[in-house]
Amino acid sequence: MKPRRSLFASATLLLLALPLACAAATPVYRTFGDWVVACDNGARCEAIGMHYAYPQLVLRLVLEGGPTAEPALTLESDAPVDPRGLRLDGARFAAAALVQPGEGMQTIGRDGAQARAFLEAIRNGAQLQAGTGEDAPTASLTGLSAALLLIDETQGRLDTVTALRRRGPLPAARVPAAPVLPAPVPPVPAPPLGEDEAQALIARVRLQAAPEVVREDCFVDPAEAFDAAGALDGDEALVMLECWRGAYQSSSLLFRTRRDGSGTAMRLRLPLPAHVEGERRVVDAFTNVDFSAGHLSHMAKGRGIADCGESASWTYDGRDFRLQRYHLLDRCRGGAPGEWPALWRSRGD
């Protein structure tokens, strides 16, 4: 598979930090040490602590936007963690008792106040270990304090009693309300393509797009490619030409074309609320693509176990493709498959 775009379209995917108040509803994605912070268009923030060691513990914090939201904190591991064995930089600490019994994903604290107490206890530490010795599952705390501060900034919590990192005397009422998520876009009814019509459109677009296929270094033999076509509406269709194929996924170039065979097929490129090395993130190669009944999806795994990657879905509204949801995690460090933070949601998600 072509390494330039077949997974994320870039080895590193970063969003720019954005204004402090959550009213802008602009997604934020940042990394600090071993922590990733993602805040979506509804001002929900998620912070994940991961590192390269194995076995590891994964700390995950989720906090909705708005003045009344309370943090939810979990500890993920391959085996249940006994709170009595938790060590902070090698020493016992009282807040370890807040870890609730369970398997796989264990809740920390029975409420937001206890979750805050646990974060306060560990935020200046270096490592959290389940036991002692070199083989003890470990969570890195490097970057946690900065991650908490970014959440405070993004959600407008700085210097309020609700802050995670920079708490102050200001009342919770000073925290902006969480933005309203956009409503899901209903798909446009479209007369389906017949098999002969679909194959004719694929052949036509293959011919028209031949120079672009060459420029993109597509290596899948057209005779063996999993090409497909679907109706956008009564006038247009979407044609998907498989370009690259790897061990666990493939990527396609997409084109809008007239169903009556007139005109020139146009390459589909869809912007995302992300930046790659300072440039706006645009999907122009769709991985594991699926298009059905007006809904288009893309899911690029960073590696086969899907502990990192990017996924997005759009709905065709009769004119354009409207983003419905977007998830991203650019660090492949053994977390739960597909558990990638949200950067864009629609109402009801």
pLDDT in tens, 234-280: 999 999 999 999 988 999 999 999 999 999 999 999 999 876 556 67
pTM above 0.85, yes or no: yes
> 53-76 pLDDT, tens per residue?
777 899 999 999 999 999 999 999
Report residue 115 as tokens.
């979750």
Q: How buried is residue 230: exposed, middle or buried, by Cβ count under 10 Å (0-12/13-18/19+)?
A: buried
Residue type, 152: D
> 77-136 pLDDT, tens per residue?
888 889 999 999 999 999 999 999 877 789 999 999 999 999 999 999 999 999 888 888
What's the angle, vertex CA 39, arms to CA 156 and CA 70, rounded to 5?
Answer: 60
Domains and CATH numbers, the chain: 26-174 (2.60.40), 195-344 (no CATH)
How confident is the model at residue 54, as a pLDDT? 75
Is the pLDDT at 283 greater than 90? The verdict is yes
Length of the chain: 349
How confident is the model at residue 250, as a pLDDT? 97
**Does residue 169 have a cis peptide bond before it, meaning omega lies within 30 degrees of 0?**
no
Contact 13, 279 (CB under 8 A): no
Q: Identify the residue whose tokens are 């864009």.
A: 344
The β-bridge partners of 297 are 290, 313
DSSP E strands in 172-233: the ranges are: 228-231
